[in-house]
Structure 1
Amino acid sequence: MSSGDSPARKAELTFRSLGAASTVTGSKHLLESDGTRILLDCGLFQGVKNLRELNWAPLAVDPSSIDAVVVTHAHLDHTGYLPRLVRDGFRGPIVSTEATAAVADIILRDSAKLQERDAEFLNERKATKHHPALPLYDSDDAGRALELFVTHPFGHEFRLPGDAVGMFRRAGHILGAATVDLTWQGRRIVFTGDLGRYDDPVMLDPEPVPAADYLVMESTYGDRLHEHADPAEALAQVIDATVDRGGTVVIPAFAVGRAQALLYYLWRLHSAGRLPGIPIYLDSPMAINASDLLGAFPRDHRLPPEVYEDMCAMATYTRDTEESKKITASREPKIVISASGMATGGRILHHLKAFAPDSRNTIIVTGYQVPGTRGRSIAAGEPYVKIHGEWIPVNAHVANLQMLSAHADADELLRWAHGFAIAPKRVFVVHGEPQAADTLRRRLDREFDWQATVPRPNQQFSL
């Protein structure tokens, strides 16, 4: 280059949120440069009807034009749209950690079966405006999506289309969860995905990131703090009171992460002689499969083999539907852990129909509940929930044990942000309800003097 030439301009790089803007669901964030598109996460919208309907709307960009998807972790609100993306023409790599790919294999196959089952249910009862009702995607779509997964270890650089370079760091939260550190066109963009808790007995701490030009940061609990109480003791108090009434404890639990944490705390109580003779049931094939992965990925969690083997052996696993029905029919005191965690589907619905009307029983809410879900209604104290077309009274006690959450609270989000030695030029606050996102935005401004923005859906920014 001669002395009279000006330096080559960096290629344009843009960012926009296609989901998880002003909501805690449907996470999709798009980076574009010189005709190359990289999607960060590809989640399903859950909760209120107007959000769920977005799953059926055409994506803002043609799926076939997306060159790669990078996945932070396997929860449905971060991966659940992948089979639909593939159905609509996406053929690029889906990049994740090895454990995330293994968990996604469980979650996406289960999600496809639920989609198929829901469509079949609507067609049988002619309870649909569309004839016939069709699933958003099916098991074949899920299988094709899973074939596209390409995995990389934590802490190692990997190449992406358009000469982008990525790296995964541990995010805590669930098995395989990662933050994504992406360098592209001379800019460094970091995506938190969902950050986990510090000093969690099961998951490892979120790892700090030293620097970024731009940060895309979750805000699920951006306006709230978790209670600093011993989760095992809180569980014991609820269980003791319920058993004294002759009741059953029903726990809607996320099959990946929360179910395993609950087993750990119950194992602690059982080992201390606090649960004499109380049957414990893990009634979720998906949660059972996810629990088996603790042994497959021992470096991705804190538990030594003798602990996770003991805690898994402590519970009665019920894969069979008939065995699940026997649990529902029994009125003897017991503890039932079942999916889904927000009571949107699965076997937990049958248990809630059976146990929610009886005031001797207790329903334990163990984490964030998306608005519009049955879990949110139960946590809010609503007297009825609709299950399988029937309004079911909720007379059972409801215990909201937020200290069991796998999400970092507001102070923990800020603790993680303190890990930056070089501050980002700009922060995009996503994956939070409006108040939570804006509260975190203001704290980042006040406490860090960082420029933070809560993006609107599909709002585009030049980086």
Structure 2
Amino acid sequence: MTVHIRFLGATGTVTGSKYLVTHNGASLLVDCGLFQGYKQLRLRNREPLPVNPADIGAVVLTHAHLDHSGYLPLLIKNGFTGKVWASAGSCELASILLPDSGHIQEEDAAYANRHGFSKHKPALPLYTEEDARIALKQLHPQALGEPFEPIPGWSVQLRGAGHILGACSVLIEVGGRRLLFSGDLGRPDDSLMLPPEPPVEADVVIIESTYGDREHPEENLLAELGPALQRACARGGAAVVPVFAVGRAQALLYAIAQLKADGTLPKGVPVYLDSPMAIHTTDLYDHHIGEHRLTKAQCQAMEHAAQMTMTPDQSKAIAFQHGPKIVLAASGMATGGRVLHHLVQYLEDHRNMVILTGYQSPGTRGATLAKGNDRLRVHGQDLTVRAEVVQLTAASAHADASQLLEWLRQIPAPPHKVFVTHGDMEASDRMRLRIKDELGWPALVPEHGSEWAV
């Protein structure tokens, strides 16, 4: 029987990762992510999957970011009853991210209903915090490097991918075929995470291409972040930093701790980490020494770099702190969460600054700011962008185009086929061409919903 892959997400976009592998009547879903960005993508989250969730035998997660795990509560709510396999780190992070995602969706829906700016009457969340907590019961942690059978006769192995805590590449052996899913690959020179493990031999490779059309600058994060924060502080402004709660928030905290230690920033400038999810994630680094680059002392310096604001009242109180300040708040693309309230508070004052810390998916508020638009719509109101907007280029947790190719070059033998996914169309196609021209391997960019025999 032939092995098939069906691409149910992360094609033509970096969000909604879902790859359905089928063989001999059984199926396994690699990743179960939410679509983000443009409305037409987000609407896919509310459409039924083209496969019955009850017919899926197992799910394997590459990592816990919501564009890879955030659809799980819906999948389970709609009938999936199998196990969700992931690394221990990913299971711990999902236990933080998924309930928080449900909670934020409930809060955003309630806010929309109170203020009447939603077209839906009433506005409803995709899923609730309770839905997410129910879904967590199906998580099953698995050690890296140890083959396991999520479905009888299917062998799967997780291998370190860098990127964030617990992130993995996934090797599936079934029907005489070896399929290697890169997951999101980290940078070999990442300030927090260890480099990705070298890939193993495979017949088919599914490679991400978030940065498939660009290279990271040589400038490091400290050299880029320090001058920006100095400018904001010098004019007495607030620096609002939309952060991804997992990975990016911790990298920024560590960088700010270093900038204060070396005198680049005054030690007295208040820093706030205004995201319960990011706060809980920061605590995990101390429990996973050896899985990242930081020592215990460096983890503690990172944890003490900011005032942790857990409650809504603590978050609101930040506005009453006069003078320069730095506010790190999720979400990283300004699609929801507490950062929206800070944008409403600070975006229209020229003394302030918004620092974008990484890739901004088209259709998100972060992408709107990155393009230099002078208007931004938040909570039903149009804000005039008077604050300085800074786009960091050195903070990304993704491998760039050359680093992706270098990872592929380490495969012991050329694969029969490479599928290029998890990128905007330009990025994916540029990576496809480089794989074809520089490696001489057959590569293609699959369309959303397409199915391939491998």
TM-score, normalized by length of structure 2?
0.98
Residue 279 of structure 1, CA deviation: 1.3
Whether the 8 Å contact between 1:16 and 1:461 is mirrored in structure 2 is yes
Does residue 422 (structure 1) correspond to residue 419 (structure 2)? The answer is: no
Q: Give the distance between the partners of 1:359 and 1:132, measured in 2 at CA.
A: 37
Equivalent residue, structure 1, for 2:256: 266
Q: Give the distance between the partners of 1:430 and 1:183, measured in 2 at CA.
A: 20
Q: Give the distance between the partners of 2:440 and 2:100, measured in 1 at CA.
A: 44
Does residue 362 (structure 1) correspond to residue 362 (structure 2)? The answer is: no
Equivalent residue, structure 2, for 1:118: 108
Does residue 71 (structure 1) correspond to residue 61 (structure 2)? The answer is: yes
Q: Where do 1:343-358 residues align within 5 Å?
A: 343-358=334-349
Equivalent residue, structure 1, for 2:6: 16
439-448 or 274-283: bigger deviation: 274-283
Deviation per residue, 1:250-272 (Å, 9 max, x gap): 11000000000001111111121
CA root-mean-square deviation? 1.2
Q: 1:320 to 1:119 in 2, by over 3 A?
A: closer
Whether the 8 Å contact between 1:279 and 1:335 is mirrored in structure 2 is yes
Q: Give the distance between the partners of 2:200 and 2:169, measured in 1 at CA.
A: 12
Match of 1:248 among 226, 235, 238: 238
Does residue 457 (structure 1) correspond to residue 433 (structure 2)? The answer is: no
SS in 1 for 2:354: strand
SS in 2 for 1:314: coil
Residue 128 of structure 1, CA deviation: 4.6
Deviation per residue, 1:66-99 (Å, 9 max, x gap): 0000000000100010000001000001000000
Q: 1:337 to 1:127 in 2, by over 3 A?
A: closer
Whether the 8 Å contact between 2:254 and 2:301 is mirrored in structure 1 is no
Q: Give the distance between the partners of 1:83 and 1:411, measured in 2 at CA.
A: 36
Match of 2:200 among 199, 210, 213: 210
Equivalent residue, structure 1, for 2:362: 371
Equivalent residue, structure 1, for 2:83: 93
Letter in 1 for 2:207: M
Q: Give the distance between the partners of 1:440 and 1:308, measured in 2 at CA.
A: 36
Whether the 8 Å contact between 1:165 and 1:182 is mirrored in structure 2 is yes
Match of 2:164 among 163, 169, 174: 174
Match of 1:221 among 204, 208, 211: 211
Q: 1:443 to 1:335 in 2, by over 3 A?
A: same
Letter in 1 for 2:440: D
Whether the 8 Å contact between 2:64 and 2:94 is mirrored in structure 1 is yes
Equivalent residue, structure 2, for 1:47: 37
Residue 196 of structure 1, CA deviation: 0.7
Q: 1:156 to 1:320 in 2, by over 3 A?
A: same
Deviation per residue, 1:119-166 (Å, 9 max, x gap): 333433455554443321122221121100111111111112141111
Q: 1:131 to 1:396 in 2, by over 3 A?
A: closer
Q: 1:125 to 1:361 in 2, by over 3 A?
A: closer
Q: Give the distance between the partners of 2:95 and 2:67, measured in 1 at CA.
A: 15
Residue 331 of structure 1, CA deviation: 3.6
Equivalent residue, structure 1, for 2:143: 153
Whether the 8 Å contact between 2:172 and 2:179 is mirrored in structure 1 is yes
Segments of 5+ residues of structure 2 without an aligned counterpart are: none
Equivalent residue, structure 1, for 2:439: 448
Equivalent residue, structure 2, for 1:5: none
Letter in 2 for 1:94: V
Letter in 2 for 1:13: V
Letter in 1 for 2:223: E
Does residue 199 (structure 1) correspond to residue 180 (structure 2)? The answer is: no
SS in 2 for 1:100: helix
SS in 2 for 1:403: coil
Match of 2:22 among 32, 48, 59: 32
Deviation per residue, 1:283-312 (Å, 9 max, x gap): 111100000010121122110001110221
Equivalent residue, structure 2, for 1:238: 228
Whether the 8 Å contact between 2:108 and 2:336 is mirrored in structure 1 is no
Letter in 2 for 1:196: G
TM-score, normalized by length of structure 1?
0.96
Does residue 388 (structure 1) correspond to residue 379 (structure 2)? The answer is: yes
Does residue 319 (structure 1) correspond to residue 302 (structure 2)? The answer is: no
SS in 1 for 2:149: strand
Whether the 8 Å contact between 1:219 and 1:437 is mirrored in structure 2 is yes
Q: Give the distance between the partners of 2:270 and 2:131, measured in 1 at CA.
A: 38
Q: Give the distance between the partners of 2:126 and 2:239, measured in 1 at CA.
A: 34
Whether the 8 Å contact between 1:36 and 1:162 is mirrored in structure 2 is no
Equivalent residue, structure 2, for 1:3: none
Segments of 5+ residues of structure 1 without an aligned counterpart are: 1-10
Larger Rg: 1
Match of 1:184 among 174, 177, 194: 174
Q: Give the distance between the partners of 2:364 and 2:16, measured in 1 at CA.
A: 14
SS in 2 for 1:207: coil
Residue 326 of structure 1, CA deviation: 1.9
Deviation per residue, 1:365-415 (Å, 9 max, x gap): 111111111111011111011111111111111111111011111111111
121-130 or 356-365: bigger deviation: 121-130
Whether the 8 Å contact between 2:117 and 2:380 is mirrored in structure 1 is no
Residue 314 of structure 1, CA deviation: 2.3
Q: 1:312 to 1:26 in 2, by over 3 A?
A: same
